[in-house]
Chain A
Amino acid sequence: MSAILAVFKREFTLYFRSPIAYAVAFAMLLFLGILFNGNLSQSVAYNVSVAQQGGAGVTASDLNLAPALITFLMFLIGPLLTMRLLAEESREGTIEVLMTLPMNEAQFIIGKFLAVWSYYTVLLLLTVTYHLVLTLVGVPDAGVAFGAYLGAWLYGGAVLAVCMVWSAVTEDQIVAAFLSAATVLVLYLAEVAAVSLTSSPTLASAANFVRELGLQAHFGATLANGIIRAEDIAYFVLMMIGALFITTRIVETRRWRA
């Protein structure tokens, strides 16, 4: 435990010293901020015009898109935050010292993962600002917001864990980042791929399998809208466990061949 904590503390504080982490946070907040403000002022203008005709307007719950947008941006955020994590340790050789300390791979990798996930959590918490702003101009549905943020949090964890696999596979950070981005995009688009698969009736369950393998099927329709399903939570948690297990295996196997 103390080893996990030690690795976690070092990596987590490193994020607050690393320029790339600030750059990611800045770019993300700027992007979300522009969309949020554009949406908000448009909606207010629309509501004013619609109110005169007595129609239904845009509610506050429709406006906090931050969690959903972050899950979309994960194909950029994930690789950027994780590419360094293990690739650098292998490249610099620092892993050789760490793996001769009384600490096994699992502790090392869990510590690293918790650090990047925690940094991601900080990013996510920054976007709660939008929710608070919305309480000033309307009544956002707190249940929807909670579900969406819980979902985005778990979603992020799963993506980061998957990206860590690639960071373990290659010593080259750029290669790790590209492979991670590709993997995350594939998982993100699995839902779309599943739709095209269903054109053939014999592939119906295969299509469903592909869909459930993807990330969005467990977030977009359900958690993002305030629906909690055991299988969605399980998907993200098991994804994390699976990816971290594979990462551990890769680091162990690399040691065997080092």
Chain B
Amino acid sequence: MIEVQNLTKRYGAVSAVDNVSFTARPGQVTGFLGPNGAGKTTTMRMLTGYMPPTSGKALVAGYDVFEQSMEVRRRVGYLPENVPLYRDMTALGYLMYIGEIRGIPNRRDKAREVLEQVKLADRAGSRIRTLSKGMRQRVGLAQALMHDPEVLILDEPTIGLDPLQVLELRDLVRELGKNHTVLFSTHILSEAEQVCDSVVIINRGMVVAQGSPSELRSTLERGGRVFVRVSAPAEAALAHLQSLPAVAQAEAGLDGVIVAPADPNADPRPAIARAIIENGWDLIELRPLAVNLEEIFLELTRAPEAAAEAEPMPESEVVA
């Protein structure tokens, strides 16, 4: 269980994380989404006790991250973003070192067990510098699992992996999510959609949306915006679509045109399709906008105006 209330981290006048609040429930994988520099890593560092917050409060496994940092650290497994490891140590040696600092009894058995869990048992005696990127990622994950933590915090664990490794890791995370509280940060949206039970989207240090992937999708779809791509000069297409009665506003975006309907409850697509065909252009793509998290994400994080628009999101739905 992770409960974050008004967590803020300021560097002088700049806020890296500003008044962030969310909850991650046990038995769930919570996705932490945002572009680079949004404050994901800073938030996660605060949650693991690595970085003290400027103000606000965060409870991890029931303990305050600042006041009871050691208690929190005992219950959290953390995989940092770049998976820093001691390159001169063997995988097993590294895990045993971590285990020794954590004061785990039977560290050798435990280390072998977690290596088995991350499917790295055969490379236990290899020096870390000889391991591939994916293997190192798994050593890092094994490190986070050494002490059977209640809470797992994984900072972009799939970055830099090949597709097969990514799939394996996602499976692993989903598996772990069943009996841990997992906070999982990524900037790959499809990943969050596949893996996460709920998602928190953060941009410029602020939470811009949160909820389950399906909730977020339906929320955004309610606007009824439509994405159109046409084989015509963009400006001509834009002008033409703008002129349609069913269209309230059209603007260029995503290599095409985004159209807002005049009546949010009516589907403007037939009218648009007809208009384009009649004009003698080819319709290449026509679909509701924001059907996947990728687009929600882009919508929300593209510009500060967009973020501001998204602010009145029904937070109460997510935060109990």
Contact = CB atoms under 8 A, between A and B. Distances in A.
Q: Do chains A and B touch in the complex (CB under 8 A)?
A: yes
Interface string B66-77: 000010011010
- Tell me if A's interface is mostly helix, strand, loop or mixed: helix
A223 B76 CA distance: 50
B50 to A, nearest CB: 5
Contacts of A94: 84-86
Nearest to A10: B97
Interface stretch (B99-107, B288-296, B305-313): B99-107
B78 interface: yes
B170 interface: no
Nearest to B49: A100
A96 B80 contact: yes
Nearest to B77: A100
A34 interface: no
B45 A258 contact: yes
B143 interface: yes
B52 interface: yes
Contacts of B98: 97, 101
A44 interface: no
B48 interface: yes
Interface in A1-56: 2-3, 5-7, 9-10, 14, 17
A93 B73 contact: no
Nearest to A92: B84
B73 A100 contact: yes
B73 to A, nearest CB: 4
A256 B84 CA distance: 19
Contacts of B78: 97, 100
A97 B102 contact: no
B248 interface: no
A99 B50 contact: yes
A229 interface: no
Interface residues of A, number: 26
Contact of B80 (A93, A101, A257): A93
Interface residues of B, number: 27
Nearest to B48: A100
B149 to A, nearest CB: 11
B76 A100 contact: yes
Nearest to B153: A100
Given A17-B88, A93-B82, A94-B84, A100 B103 contact: no
Interface in A90-118: 92-104
A42 B89 CA distance: 48
A93 B84 contact: yes
B167 interface: no
Nearest to A4: B101
A101 B84 contact: no
B51 interface: yes
A96 B84 contact: yes
A10 B87 CA distance: 13
B101 A98 contact: yes
Contact of B100 (A6, A96, A100): A6
Interface string B203-230: 0000000000000000000000000000
A104 B50 CA distance: 10
Given A17-B88, A97-B80, A104 B70 contact: yes
Interface string B100-117: 111100000000000000
Contacts of A5: 100
Interface string A198-217: 00000000000000000000
Contacts of B97: 6, 10
B11 A6 contact: no
Interface of A: 2-3, 5-7, 9-10, 14, 17, 92-104, 255-258
22 contacts: A3-B103, A5-B100, A6-B100, A7-B101, A94-B86, A95-B84, A96-B45, A96-B50, A97-B84, A97-B98, A97-B143, A100-B48, A100-B76, A101-B73, A101-B102, A102-B74, A102-B103, A103-B101, A255-B50, A255-B51, A255-B52, A257-B11
Given A100-B49, A102-B73, A102-B74, 10 more contacts: A6-B97, A6-B100, A14-B88, A93-B84, A100-B78, A102-B70, A102-B102, A102-B103, A255-B50, A258-B50
Task: For the complex of A and B, list the 7 residue pairs with the smallest distance between their C-beta atoms, beginning with the closest.
Answer: A93-B84, A6-B100, A100-B48, A94-B84, A102-B73, A100-B78, A6-B101
